[in-house]
Amino acid sequence: MAREPLIIRRRRRKPDTDRPRPKSVVDCAVYVDGERLSGFADHEAAFAEVRRRRDGFVWIGLYEPTVTEIEAVAETFDLHELAVEDVVQAHQRPKLERYGDTLFMVLKTVHYVEHESPTTANEIVETGEIMAFLGKNFIVTVRHGSHSRLSNLRADLEAEPERLKPGAAAVLHAIADKVVDHYLAVSEAFEDDIDELETHVFAPRSAVDAEQMYLVKREIVELRRAVMPLAAPLRRLAEGRMPHVPEQVRSYFRDVDDHLTTVTDRVTNFDDLLTTLVDATLAKVSLQQNNDMRKITAYAAIIAVPTMVVGVYGMNFDYMPETHWKYGYPIIMLLTLIGCMILYRTFKRNRWL
């Protein structure tokens, strides 16, 4: 079913620095020559100051905003309705779209969930999203997911004003660089898990759970969906002439793209290796089932000997060998035991037992 389009109501309001900050606003600041100016907690006042100066840019960070809250920001920065709808709905694939002079970028964040062993974990990779609107003199970032905080990144950038001098595009580069660095860290941790799984699968007499292997495969697929689609947007930022992305920042995006290529190759190898491990797991489970069936068949054959004897002598005919002979029953029991022992030794020699 097609979802209803989000209607953004354009209501121009006079900037008010005394208005309380919405809960979704994590931080809002004006940067001029890389330095942060104090006293601009309200995004409207901050944007008005940038336009008055005709220099610098605004960076406002939002965390899971409501429709009402994102409407207010969309009015101030003239954000496109379709992009704003994606921000509210979330669950987007990594992409880069252009709406007039504004760029809209979606990045998937990943977080490695600590666990004792991949053979018992319920979740290994947790994903979130960072969405960014890049304009001439502003950048609006929207986060979904508790692990994708940007406060430390903002502090690092403010500690090095030179990094912010190229403008708002430098913030977008720093965010992309941080996200890809997390990809590298998660892929390295995942590599240890896969090595442990490989050792476990090929260890003799190890109990292998095919369902757990499929769970790890699902986590790899989730990681791949976060990493792979980001290659095209980064390449466009690095090679194409996008608005508000100067040449200096494009060269930085090339470096991020190189790191992403490393992660992409690593995740592809993980996916292929895990597919092999799943096949090996299924083969091992099948072999274990065959061994179990052979044991069941062997014991059934051994039990069949006394069952047959009891069945014959349980019919109570008048002319039976042991009915009038003192040693009849002991001899029959001994012969039955000898037959069972012969079958047991035969199956044991053939490794059915």
- List, for residues 148-182, the tens digit of each pLDDT value: 889 899 999 999 999 999 999 999 999 999 999 99
| Of the candidates 256, 282, 258, 265, the residue with the CA atom closest to the CA atom of residue 191 | 265
> In this model, does residue 132 exceed pLDDT 90?
yes
Give me the domains of the chain, ranges plus CATH numbers. 1-117+124-179 (3.30.460.20), 288-349 (1.20.58.340)
pLDDT at 197 (0 to 100): 87
Orientation of helix 247-313 relative to helix 328-349, angle to 10°: 160
Report whether pLDDT(255) > 70. Answer: yes
CA distance 59 to 169: 11
Indicate the pTM of the whole model: 0.78
Better-scored residue on pLDDT, 224 or 317 = 224
Q: pLDDT tens-digit profile of 60-105?
A: 999 999 888 899 899 999 999 989 988 888 888 999 999 988 999 9
Looking at per-residue confidence, does 9 or 187 come out higher? 187
Q: How many beta carbons lie within 10 A of that of residue 239, not counting itself? A: 12
pLDDT of residue 103: 95
State residue 322's pLDDT score.
Answer: 62
Q: Supply the pLDDT for residue 91.
A: 85
